[in-house]
Amino acid sequence: VSTLINAAQLYMTAKINTYGVEAEKDADHGGLILMTRSHYNPAGLISFMFRLAADERNHTYGDLGIFRTHPPGNERVASARALMTEMHLPMVLSAVDPTLLVGVSPVKAAAGVPDMAELKLQGITLCRVVGGEGLSAEQRGAKVAHKLNGLMDDRLRAYDIRPSQDKTRVMARGITLLTAADATAQNKTIEALAQDLGFAITQVSQRRQIDFNP
């Protein structure tokens, strides 16, 4: 008899929590749709879900099974992302989370070497640039940072970064990021700069933990 009672209690728990999980999914979708009709950026909801999913990955909660009352974080991310894609909404995470913006700071160089600007993202150095095109090093750094912000929002990967065919520029998806002048100032080749930037992008991607597959 006790076994039957326990089984019935577990069945009811599973049934009730299943309703809760589905309700949470509906709430996520409803919240995202409501945000599109307000002055709030719906990407903010995705950013929040990324944090939830990252927290789940960084902590061992175990498989809650029938006792789970919320969908797994990775499922919530995937579902919300799919809905934004379906609604043709841009997912610009850097617009809602300042920590995802590339920062630019001046680097005072040694005598005989041009001043440079250093670009960092989440504590990781991406690259250094010199002045050019009528811009100071910081101004040009801000210009490159703007390009990188857009590329990172579009899920830039290391394999997207490569030297141009004539080996005078470092490019990502057809966009010029670094030049021969940047390489010369650091006594490096264009290939080395591309490799360094690609490695840094990989580190950032791992730290951000934004690749959640259902």
Instruction: Output phi, psi for 105, to 5 deg.
Output: -140, 145
**What is the pTM (predicted TM-score) of this model?**
0.69
Q: What is the pLDDT of residue 84?
A: 79
Residue ranges, the chain, pLDDT below 70: 1-26, 28, 54-55, 57-73, 209-214
Instruction: Output phi, psi for 127, to 5 deg.
Output: -170, 175
Q: What is the pLDDT of residue 163?
A: 97
Q: What is the pLDDT of residue 71?
A: 59
Q: What is the pLDDT of residue 72?
A: 66
Q: What is the pLDDT of residue 59?
A: 60
Q: What is the pLDDT of residue 147?
A: 96
Q: What is the pLDDT of residue 127?
A: 97
- 130 burial (CB, 10 Å; 0-12 / 13-18 / 19+) is buried
Q: What is the pLDDT of residue 139?
A: 97
